[in-house]
Structures are given as structure tokens and as C-alpha cells.
Amino acid sequence: MMRIIVDLALCQGHGVCESEAPAIFAVSPDHRVTILDESPSEAQRAEVVLAVKYCPTHALTLEEG
């Protein structure tokens, strides 16, 4: 099982996560990310990994558990 963690102090709301995994992330008009599903399914793993990888501020972490 994976779990997504966001560091809001680092997040600048670029929206890369939302473009990579729109079912998992949403970026508000004030440029803050919301995680819609903190523990996504394995079927969504590839999207989540790309969102974490391409976050320009490295605000996202993927924990395995």
C-alpha cells in the first residue's frame, strides 16, 4: 500500500501533480494542492509516481507501507 504526503511549505501550486494524476491531486485557485486520495490503488501507481517525480519543488513524497 502506498501513501502520499505533501509538504505544504514547499508546494507552490504549479499543478504538475494534477496534470499527471488528476484523480489523485487537485490544485486550488490559491495554488495549493489537495490530495484527493492519500492511499491510491495500485492501478494508479504509475500516475502517482510521475506526479511525485516531476513535482518541481519536491513537495510530494510517496511512502510504501
> What is the per-residue pLDDT for 63?
94
Block residue for cell numbers 492519500: 38
Provide the number of structural domains found in the chain.
1
Which CATH number does the domain housing residue 57 bear? Answer: 3.30.70.20
The rounded distance, in Å, linking the Cα atoms of 24 and 59 is 15
Task: Please give the grid coordinates belonging to residue 58.
Answer: 519536491
Domain that holds residue 45: 2-64
The pLDDT value recorded for residue 65 is 80
C-alpha cell at 24: 489523485
pLDDT at 1: 87
Q: Calculate the alpha carbon distances from 47 to 9, 29, 30 in Å.
A: 23, 22, 24
For 23-50, how does the pLDDT look when each residue is reduced to its tens digit (9 = 90+)?
Answer: 999 999 999 899 999 899 999 999 999 9
